[in-house]
Chain A
Amino acid sequence: MVDMDPGTLVTIVTIIVAGVGIVIGAIAPAIAEGRAVEKALESIARQPDSAGDLRTTLLIAMALLESTAIYVLLVVLILLFANPLLDRFF
């Protein structure tokens, strides 16, 4: 931090934030999806007849949960490859 030019500082902060962000953004949907699958498996074990209905609903719900991880991924990709802040310095 001694005499760092602003471009380097922004780059470093961007990389750190991208790493931390994708970690948190991957953990939360993974837990949520695990819970959803757990409940679905429990109810399939209890009522095997409802497996067809549950599969469709589960896939849609998983897609909705998965999309939060993908939003984070998109933000991280923008930060790493198309950072709008870096264009001011380089």
Chain B
Amino acid sequence: MEEVFPEVVFSLFRIPVRDTVVSTWVMMALIIAVVLIVRRLKPTALELVVDFLADFIAEIMRRPADPFLPLLGSLALFIAVGNVIGLVPFLKSPTSDLNTTVALSLVVFVAVHVYGVRTMGLITYLKSLASPIFLLPLELISQISRTISLSIRLFGNVFSAEIIIAILFALAPLIVPLPLQGFSIFTGLLQAYIFTALAAVYIAAGLPNETEEIKQKDGENEFREYINNKLESEPKE
């Protein structure tokens, strides 16, 4: 049961380093190695992953995914691999440590404002945050609470799955924890999906929604053309 909680392995310049950080390093090395090997052997496989992520992000944000793909795609890959790597012996999920998930959601928190300022300019972005002015406190509260909820959701899911597996392992160590470990793979991937989707929604909410207006106008024009065609094709009295 005690193995579930992160422990301090060693101190680096008086900063305590936990075993989750060590497994993060192992994970980073693993991802880079896999990418380098696959890039040499079968580049289309990587293309498949990038295309899938780009489509997924574009579908949620309803705009071209190119400016957001580096951040959101690497978030998705990091969390997906991080949730699953806890099943490897001697390694621990980096996301079962609250520090990791808080760091990830702080990245999202900063990214929302960076993308907003970059597209609108500082003054316009600040104005859009406070319009009308009495909604500013609510906006601030929602910014903070969504950051907290983003981190705690990921941490709670991964950590509770590990605790349940540890308890079952203490009760019946032979085969019983296996189905739950399979289920924890599923929830881990689902949580990576949800974290990325929510980050995309939050970033998209901080941007001006110009694409939708264009789409609506296009729809209106098509409708008008359709009506006009119909009116023209009908025989006049």
Interface residues of A (CB under 8 A from B): 56, 59-60, 63-64, 66-67, 70-71, 73-74, 77, 81
**Interface range on chain B (Cβ under 8 Å from partner):** 10 to 19
Q: Residues of B at under 8 Å CB distance from A?
A: 5, 59-60, 149, 152-153, 155-157, 159-160, 163, 193-194, 197-198, 201
Bound state CA distance, A73 and B155, in angstroms?
11
The smallest C-beta distance from B204 to any residue of chain A, in angstroms, reads 12
User: Is the pair A60, B198 in contact by a Cβ cutoff of 8 Å?
Assistant: yes
29 CB < 8 A contacts A-B? A56-B59, A56-B60, A56-B197, A59-B193, A59-B194, A59-B197, A60-B194, A60-B197, A60-B198, A60-B201, A63-B194, A63-B197, A63-B198, A67-B153, A67-B156, A70-B153, A70-B156, A70-B157, A70-B160, A71-B149, A71-B152, A71-B156, A73-B160, A74-B152, A74-B155, A74-B156, A77-B159, A77-B160, A81-B5
**When A and B form their complex, what is the total count of cross-chain residue pairs whose Cβ atoms lie within 8 Å?**
37
Interface of B is mostly: helix
A67 proximity list for chain B (CB < 8 A):
149, 152-153, 156
- With a cutoff of 8 Å between Cβ atoms, the chain A residues found around residue B198 in the complex are 60, 63
Neighbouring B residues of A77 by C-beta, 8 Å: 159-160, 163
Q: How far is A56 from B60 in the complex, measured between Cα atoms in Å?
A: 8
B199 to chain A, nearest CB (A): 11
CB of A62 to closest CB in B, whole Å: 8
Which residues of B have CB within 8 Å of A59? 193-194, 197
Residues of B within 8 A of A56 (CB): 59-60, 197
CB within 8 Å for A63 and B60 given contacts A56-B197, A70-B160, A77-B160: no
In the bound complex, CA of A77 to CA of B193 (Å)? 25
Write the chain B residue with the least CB distance to A76. B160
Top 5 closest pairs, chain A to chain B, by CB? A70-B156, A63-B194, A67-B153, A74-B156, A67-B149
CA gap between A66 and B152 in the complex, in Å: 11
Q: Which of B152, B153, B163, B197 has the most CB of A within 10 A?
A: B153
Q: How far is the CB of A88 from chain B (nearest CB, A)?
A: 21
